[in-house]
């Protein structure tokens, strides 16, 4: 067995739930998370790199998930179908109302907006780090975050504050959305 196989196997056996959850947040639905994680795993292990520990491998795969998702968008012709299925599945899962709401709100964002929001607010990346990871400009990230904040506020109907980081982008309260 090649040296990378035990690490990959361990990542899939022990870290998959966490990585799938992350992929689901980035992709905006659960159904696509499996495809995204598979692609991220393949990308991460296909090169000649070596991982000394499963933690390092998991971190690398995690970083590969946003780009694997965004790169794969154009190739997934059945995205709308899987999106619909995901909603069906989500609604069947008992969950906290607020979390369901935010997941639905995230799902309503554009793919790049969602990736920026997840990286910014879940991974606590700075705008510069988000830009670097997604290969886009800082200003573009800020625009995505700003647009996302408007949409999220409209969906969630509440004031959502951003408290940390000088480059933070506040989520606007519903009342400020021009409807």
Partner 1 sequence: MASDLRELIHGGAEAKRHLFASENFAGDYGRSVIGRVKRRRAVTATAMGGGTVVAVGAIAVGGWQLTGAGFGFGMPGSAPAVVCTTTAAAPPSASADNAISLLSVPSPSGSVIWAVAIGSEDPPNIVANIALDLETHEVTGSIPDGNSLVLTPDTEGVYAVQFSDGNRLTFAVEAEELVLKSSSLEPTGAPTVTCVTTTPEPTGSSSPTSSPVPSPSLSLEPSTTAALVRSPFACGFEFPSEEDGDEMAIVEVETLTAEEAIAELSSQWGGDWDAIGVDRPTGDVLYVRAEPDARNPEVIRAAGFGGSVGWRDPVLELTGLSSSDGRVAAQAAAFVGVADRRVVATLAVSASIPGVPYLVSVIPDSSSGHSPATYLLDKQALVPCTDGATWDELYAVGGMVAEEMDDITGPYYAWKKVD
> Residue 160 pairs with which residues in a beta bridge?
171
Bridge partner residues of 159 (DSSP): none
Burial of 178 (0-12, 13-18, 19+ CB in 10 A): exposed
Owner of token pair 């790049």? 112
Positions in 84-143 near partner 1 (CB under 8 A) = 93, 95-103, 106, 117-118, 121-122, 124
Q: Residues 57 to 86: which contact partner 1 by CB under 8 A?
A: 71, 74
Nearest residue to 19 via CA among 47, 59, 76, 73: 59
Question: Which residue's structure tokens are 């989500």?
Answer: 90
Contact map string, positions 136 to 165, toward partner 1, x by CB under 8 A: ----------------x---xxxxxxxx--
Query: Which span (20-28, 80-88, 126-134, 135-143) binds partner 1, by CB under 8 A?
Result: 20-28
CB of 35: closest distance to partner 1 in angstroms? Answer: 9
80 vs 97 by CB, closer to partner 1: 97
Q: How far apart are CA 166 and CA 141, in angstroms?
A: 14
Site for partner 1, rule CB under 8 A: 2, 4-5, 8-9, 12-13, 16-18, 20-22, 24-25, 30, 33-34, 37-38, 41-43, 45-48, 71, 74, 93, 95-103, 106, 117-118, 121-122, 124, 152, 156-163, 171
């Amino acid at each position: 067995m090649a040296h990378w196989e035990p690490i990959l196997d361990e990542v899939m056996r022990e870290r998959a739930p966490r990585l799938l959850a992350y992929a689901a947040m980035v992709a905006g639905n659960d159904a696509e998370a499996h495809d995204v994680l598979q692609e991220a795993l393949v990308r991460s292990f296909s090169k000649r790199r070596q991982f000394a520990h499963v933690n390092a491998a998991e971190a690398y795969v995690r970083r590969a998930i946003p780009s694997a998702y965004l790169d794969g968008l154009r190739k997934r012709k059945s995205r709308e179908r899987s999106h619909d299925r995901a909603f069906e599945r989500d609604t069947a899962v008992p969950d906290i109302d607020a979390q369901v709401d935010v997941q639905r709100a995230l799902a309503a964002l554009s793919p790049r907006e969602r990736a920026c929001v997840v990286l910014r607010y879940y991974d606590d990346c700075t705008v510069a780090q988000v830009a670097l990871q997604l290969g886009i400009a800082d200003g573009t990230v800020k625009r995505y975050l700003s647009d996302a904040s408007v949409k999220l506020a409209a969906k969630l109907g509440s004031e959502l504050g951003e408290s940390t980081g000088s480059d933070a982008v506040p989520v606007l309260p519903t009342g400020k959305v021009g409807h």
